[in-house]
Amino acid sequence: MTTRIQRRNRRRILEAALDVFSAQGFRGATLDQIAGVAGLSKPNLLYYFDSKEAMHRALLDDLLDIWLAPLRAMNPDGNGREEILAYMRRKLQMSRELPRESRLFANEVLQGAPRLADQISGDLKRLVDDQAVVIRRWISMGQIAAVDPYHLIFSIWALTQHYADFDAQIRLIRDGADPMDGADGFLETLFDKLLQP
C-alpha cells in the first residue's frame, strides 16, 4: 500500500537524483547533494530507498523504456523514408526535452554500462535486431538507399544524443546560444540525402 506522501517523496527524490546523477555521474554524486536538491534529510532518503545504488537502479529501470519508445514506435508497414525520418525527429525531440536522461544514459555507457549490460544485450538488442530486418525490407523494396541498418540506427543515436550530452561544449562554441538551434533542419537534410535511393 503506497500513501500519498510516499508517492510525493519518492518522486521528489528520483527527480533530485536524476539532477545530480546526470550531472556528476554515480560516484560523483553524494547523498547530501541529492538530499539538498530534494529538500529532504539524508536519512529520509534512505527511508524511501535502501541505498544510493537503489536510487540509481530505479532511475535506470524507468529509463530504458522511455529511451526505446521512439524506436519501438517505428511502423514496419509505413513508408521507409518517412518512418526513419520520423524516428529521428522523435529522438531529437527527446534530447531537447529529456537532456538529463540522455546524460544519465551516456554516463552509464561511457563507464562500460556495468548496470545496464543485461538490458542492453536483452531488450535493446532484440529491438534493434528486429528493426534492422524492417529496414532491410525497406531497402529491398527500393524505398530507401542501401545502407547498413545498424550503422544507420547508431548514426541517429549519435547525432541526436550529441546535442544533449555535449551541450556544454556546443554552448561554449556558439556563445551560449541554444545548441539545438538549426539542428532539426540540418539533420532532416542529412538523413533525407542519405536515404535517397
- The smaller minimum CB distance to DNA, of residues 4 and 193, is found at 4
Compute the distance between CA of residue 52 and CA of residue 45 in angstroms, rounded to an integer.
9
- 66 contacts its own copies (rule: CB under 8 A): no
Minimum Å distance from CB 115 to DNA? 14
Q: Choose, by CB under 8 A, the member of 68, 100, 124, 188 that binds its own copies.
A: 124
Name the 3-class secondary structure at 143.
coil
- 196 contacts its own copies (rule: CB under 8 A): yes
Nearest to 109 by CA among 54, 68, 169, 60: 60
Query: What does the block give as the cell for 176?
Result: 551560449
Is the torsion defined by CA of 64, 65, 70, 73 positive or negative? positive
Compute the distance between CA of residue 60 and CA of residue 105 in angstroms, rounded to an integer.
8
**Contacting range for its own copies; rule: CB under 8 A; set: 63-71, 74-82, 84-92, 180-188:** 180-188
Residue 133 binds which of its own copies, DNA, none (CB < 5-8 A, kind-dependent): none
Whole-number CA gyration radius for the chain: 19
Beta strands in 39-128 (DSSP E): none
Cell 550530452 identifies what position? Answer: 165
Query: What does the block give as the cell for 52?
Result: 544510493
Is the torsion defined by CA of 41, 42, 43, 49 positive or negative? positive
Q: Choose, by CB under 7 A, the member of 23, 25, 31, 106 that binds DNA.
A: 31
- 107 contacts its own copies (rule: CB under 8 A): yes
Q: Choose, by CB under 7 A, the member of 9, 102, 131, 143 that binds DNA.
A: 9
Minimum Å distance from CB 171 to its own copies? 9
Residue 54's CB is within 10 A of a number of other CB atoms, namely 12
Residue 42 binds which of its own copies, DNA, none (CB < 5-8 A, kind-dependent): DNA
Residue 46 binds which of DNA, its own copies, none (CB < 5-8 A, kind-dependent): DNA
Minimum Å distance from CB 143 to its own copies? 16
Minimum Å distance from CB 60 to its own copies? 13
- Tell me the site size for DNA, rule CB under 7 A: 21
Binding site for DNA (CB under 7 A): 1, 3-6, 9, 29-32, 40-44, 46-47, 50-53
